[in-house]
Structures are given as structure tokens and as C-alpha cells.
A and B are shown apart, each in its own frame.
Chain A
Amino acid sequence: MSEHEENEGAPPHVAGEFFLWLWYQSETGQGRVDFGEEGGTVEYWVDDRISFRAVGEDKVSAIMTGDNPSLTPEAHAALAGGKVIRDVRLALRREDREYTVTLKAPRIEIAAAKLPALVKSGDDGEVLYERMFLYEELHFILGGLFRAFAAARCADEWRERTLPDLRRWVAAGPGGAGPLDAEAEAS
């Protein structure tokens, strides 16, 4: 049993901030997490969909789809206008296995996950073991990414550095100021 079991769970903004952090990290060239010796490295990037909702509402108020939706001015404008991310479609790569998955707030649920097919045919048991292995790997990757986000979100650096960087990035629009740009600006 986990510590938070008696609580109501994560506040609704947590999933949206996690998605934003993933987007920001991937767009500013940091879309890679090292899970250590056993976990290896995972690369990720926003695939072909981001949807937004207004704060306090659940309905989608804006959707960007197609190639590189995260690089559109509309996506940045939605953030700058105070909208929060409701779901995001991510691509993830670990070793030679590539996944695409839509992550849905507030539970960070896996939707329309496309798993890499290793075994093309076989009996039901073989197919099941493979798909469950891949599902568990996907869940493991998401857990690792969330823990990296949570550590960053709870560190002092979040307010002192990450949040100002995020604000600059949102305001600058696609391809705008990431942490490296900000350092260059400062110097």
C-alpha cells in the first residue's frame, strides 16, 4: 500500500504539468532520460497531437494535430493564454523499441498505445507475453519519466530556474528560448 492511498491522489494540475515538462524538455533538446545501468536510456518527443483545456474544465478547448504540433505558434499561444494540456501523444524509444502513446490527464492513462511488434505470429500465449512485456516496459518508462519530472518539480530549482525558463519558452514561441538560449542571453 502506498503512502498516499488514503488521500485523494494527485491534484489535477500534476498531469498537465508533467506533459508540459515533457514537451519543454523534448523541444529544448533534453528529451532523453538515463534510467541507469538496468534501465538504459529513453528518448522521447511529442508526436502528432496535443490537446488543451481551460483551467477548471475537463472538455478539450483546443487541439493541435499533424506533423510537429508542438512547434506550432497556436500550441504556444494556448499555453500563453492560460490553457493546460489535457492529453499529449508521445513517441518513446528505448533501445530498438519505439512506442507511440497518448497520455491522458488527470490519471496519466495510456491510450491508443502502439506497441512495437516483435513476434509477428504465434499462439495466444506467446503474443500475450510479448504484449504484456511491452505494456509493462511502457509503464516502466512512464514511471521513470514521471519520477524525473517529480524530482525536478519538487526541487528548489523549479521556482528559481525551471519555471522562469518555462515562462520564457512559452512566451518566445516555437523554437524559442530554452535554458541554453537563456544562458546565452544572460552572458
Chain B
Amino acid sequence: MGVLKGGLSVRRYRASEPPEGFRDLYTAALEDNAFRDALTEVHKEQRVGWVQVHNLLDNSFLDTNRWLYNHYAVFAMRIDKKVLPAKLFGAHLEKRCQTWCRENNRERCPSKVKTELKEALEMEMLLKTLPSVAVHEVAWNLNEGWVIFHNQSEVPNDTFRKLFHRTFGMALVPHDPLDFVASEPDIANALVSGGASDLRMEPR
């Protein structure tokens, strides 16, 4: 599913005109905001950045032939996040608390100890856990000023707009049905001011 193959499910945005010399500027901007792996295996915060559409492991944009096709810029947003399985984590933590109580001849595990056990277990499990990886493709028509983002959920779209703004310094405006009648303001205004049609039969 995506820009190059499969079904298209996209949210469309309007973008500003790219500046003079955008090719070099945008190459640098994409490089600066490319996806980077976490420095440590125990990093659990979400990581976001750009990758090539061809392979989510390719995060270099120095070769413009890999992302700029005439007036189309094509790349993808990658989001990684490590999430521990909550039930398994809880079960392991309970076992460790029980072991601590047995070894220390105590009936209950103090909250300070429990916190320490929890942190240690979290580190241990994060080392063994692979991140969940999401990749959403982007196609940008630089001549006509529109961008399509291959996802329609609110959270990824918000993340996308923020990353796009941080990278290219421009705010994206979501497409609205009224854009279809932008050249006919009277009709657009009439659609906005007219109420909904009532389809129920009028009483005879």
C-alpha cells in the first residue's frame, strides 16, 4: 500500500511554493531530520524521522535521484516506538517482588524497592524488545503545491505536520471540500451558510 504500489489512502494538504535553490536546501533539511536509530537499546520514547520510500533502512537523502523525481519529492515518515507487553511485564514484576520478600523475610515489598525492581526489569525487557515500526509515505508536487500523506488517522497526521514544518519551515493546510470551489467564492459561501437538507417527507 503506498505511493508506488497498492491502494491509495491519503490525506491531502496544500503547501507553499518552494524557495529558490530548494534542491540543496531540502536535501540538507531531509538529512537533518532523517530517521536516526536510538543511541541506546533501552530508549523507549518515540523516534520520528524521514526515510526513503524504497527501504525504511535508507535514511540518506544526499542522492537526489532517490527522492526527487522531476517536480515530485517522495519520501516517508518512520515512527519507531518500543512498547513492553503490559501483562507480561506485570507478571514478571510480581514474581520479582515475591522473590524479594522471600529473600528478605518480609511480607510486603516496600514501594521504593518495587520502583527499583520495576526500573531494572524495564531495562532488561527493553534490551530484548524490538520497536514497533510504522512508515507512512509522502508525495509532494512541488510545482502545484500539494502534498499527500499516506495515512488518515489524526495522530500520525499531527506528527507528520510537525515534522514537515520542522524540516521545510512551512505549515501544511489540510485539503477541504471547499477547495474544490475555491474559484467560485459565492458558491463556497452559500455551502457554508446553507443548513443541512432535511430528507424526511414533509407532512401532507
Q: Could you list which residues of chain A lie within 8 angstroms of chain B, going by C-beta atoms?
A: 2-5, 7, 9-11, 13-15, 17-18, 20, 55, 79-80, 82, 104, 106-115, 124-125, 127-129, 131-132, 135-136, 139, 142-143, 146-147, 150-151, 153-154, 158, 163-164, 166-168, 170-171
Query: Which of B185, B190, B200, B202 contacts A3, CB < 8 Å?
Result: B185
0 or 1 for each of B180-194: is its CB under 8 Å from A? (1 = yes): 111011111111101
**Which B residue sits closest to A18, measured CB to CB?**
B177
* Contact call A4/B4, Cβ cutoff below 8 A: no
Q: Interface majority SS on A: helix, strand, loop or mixed?
A: helix
Chain B residues whose C-beta falls within 8 Å of the C-beta of A132 in the assembled complex: 72, 139, 141
CB atoms of A107 and B8 under 8 A apart: no
* A103–B116 alpha-carbon span in the complex (Å): 52
11 A-B residue pairs with Cβ-Cβ distance under 8 Å, sorted by A, are A4-B192, A10-B177, A111-B9, A124-B54, A128-B3, A128-B69, A128-B74, A131-B3, A136-B141, A146-B177, A154-B187
Known A3-B182, A4-B192: A110·B10 in contact at CB below 8 Å: yes
Q: Please, which residue of chain A has its CB at the minimum distance from the CB of B188?
A: A4
The reply to whether B8 and A110 contact each other, CB–CB distance below 8 Å, is yes
| A11–B192 CA distance with the chains assembled, in angstroms | 6
B152:A111 contact, CB within 8 angstroms: yes
| Contact residues in A for B7 (Cβ distance below 8 Å) | 112-114
Across the interface, do A128 and B72 meet the contact criterion of CB distance under 8 Å?
yes
CB distance from A94 to the nearest CB of B (A): 17
Residue B196 is within 8 A (CB to CB) of chain A in the complex: yes
0 or 1 for each of B156-196: is its CB under 8 Å from A? (1 = yes) = 00000000000000000111111111101111111110111
Q: Nearest 4 pairs between A and B by C-beta? A: A2-B182, A13-B196, A9-B176, A154-B190
Expressed in whole angstroms, the minimum distance between the Cβ of A1 and any Cβ of chain B is 9
Contacts of B9 in A (CB 8 A): 109-113
